[in-house]
């Protein structure tokens, strides 16, 4: 998930709105599928299965469209960094976190990605500094995080910090991804490289830590959750996301940030029986308010 920058927001066509709703369900559903799978399968194995099957699905789409992969070493080097920051590291942190906190809470914390992206852009770029309004947005968002965390709760607090670390990783990836413009990679090519490299990087770590050959065979529920996580919430979700970018632009595609937590909370309530606490609701509202201020389209419409 990339962070918002200073870009215009063209009108969103109806088709793009429908696809945004679909994408929110696909990415919101990932928290449900993780919650079901991680009950039986270790986190690293869950992540590797997700990205390897997703990479295979996108690779098939790449083959059908006859799109070539780049030959330049610089493109592969930059994509390897993106693969770690945008896939391998945050996915592992989020999946591990869901062994200690609810799917709904994890999705709310994940929505802080644009806030961390704004902080990263301020310190790591020369042309994207914080304005007073963006600083106010960060204050509201991070106040929401404080409300969500409450008093220290042992492993749950570490899980919350892991989710925030994943959001920070996404934000850093959004800043680093600017380097990819010089390579001229098409979205499908970039997504396929990203998932394929992430699966390759994570494979030896997963084999050493989880030793999957010693694990019991997962139940049908866990197996179907892994399959849905890989094909729906990863492979299909990336294709839908890049289609939205083509239809409505990057800034409008980022609207999905607002839609994923409600979708994830609803699906977690239906599939996992999770209830949303008052503190979590208040924290989500504060984070949502910060995202609205950071996005800025309401100010442009008023002016």
Average pLDDT over the chain reads 85
DSSP line for the chain: -PPP-S-------HHHHHHHHHHHHHHHHHHHHHHHHTTTS-HHHHHHHHHHHHHHHHHHHHHHHTPPPP--HHHHHHHHHHHIIIIIHHHHHHHHHTTTS-HHHHHHHHTTHHHHHHHHHHHH-SS-PPPHHHHHHHHHHHHHHHHHH-S--THHHHHHHHHHHHHHHHHHHHHHGGGGGGGT--HHHHHHHHHHHHHHHHHHHHHHHH-GGGSPPPPHHHHHHHHHHHIIIIIIHHHHHHHHHHHH-HHHHTTHHHHHHHHHHHHHHHHH-----HHHHHHHHHHHHHHHHHH-HHHHHH-
pLDDT digits (tens, 9 = 90+) for 96-141: 999 999 998 899 898 888 888 888 888 887 777 777 887 888 888 8
pLDDT at 124: 81
pLDDT at 296: 65
pLDDT at 147: 84
Q: pLDDT tier at 4 (50, 70, 90 boundaries)?
A: very low
Q: Is the pLDDT of residue 276 over 80?
A: no
Q: Is the pLDDT of residue 179 over 90?
A: no
pLDDT digits (tens, 9 = 90+) for 195-240: 999 999 999 999 999 999 999 999 999 999 999 999 999 888 878 8
């Amino acid at each position: 998930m990339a962070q918002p920058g200073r870009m215009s927001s063209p009108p969103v066509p109806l088709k793009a709105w429908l696809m945004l709703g679909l994408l929110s369900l696909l990415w919101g559903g990932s928290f449900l599928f993780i919650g079901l799978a991680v009950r039986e399968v270790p986190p690293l194995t869950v992540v590797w299965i997700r990205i390897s099957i997703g990479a295979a699905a996108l690779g098939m789409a790449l083959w059908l469209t006859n799109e070539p992969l780049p030959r330049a070493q610089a493109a592969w080097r930059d994509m390897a960094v993106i693969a770690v920051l945008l896939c391998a590291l945050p996915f592992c942190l989020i999946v591990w976190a869901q062994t200690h906190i609810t799917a709904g809470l994890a999705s709310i914390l994940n929505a802080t990605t644009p806030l961390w992206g704004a902080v990263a852009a301020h310190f790591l770029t020369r042309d994207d500094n914080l304005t007073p309004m963006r600083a106010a947005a960060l204050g509201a968002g991070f106040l929401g995080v404080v409300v969500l965390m409450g008093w220290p709760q042992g492993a749950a607090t570490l899980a919350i910090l892991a989710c925030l670390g994943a959001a920070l990783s996404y934000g850093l990836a959004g800043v680093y991804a600017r380097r990819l413009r010089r390579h001229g990679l098409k979205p499908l090519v970039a997504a396929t490289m990203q998932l394929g490299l992430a699966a390759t990087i994570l494979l030896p770590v997963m084999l050493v830590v989880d030793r999957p050959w010693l694990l019991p065979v997962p139940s049908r529920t866990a197996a179907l959750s892994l399959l849905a996580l890989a094909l729906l919430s990863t492979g299909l979700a990336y294709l839908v996301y890049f289609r939205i970018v083509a239809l409505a632009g990057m800034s409008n595609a980022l609207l999905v940030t607002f839609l994923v937590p409600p979708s994830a909370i609803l699906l977690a309530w239906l599939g996992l029986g999770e209830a949303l606490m008052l503190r979590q609701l208040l924290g989500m509202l504060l984070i949502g308010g910060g995202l609205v201020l950071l996005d800025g389209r309401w100010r442009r419409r008023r002016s």
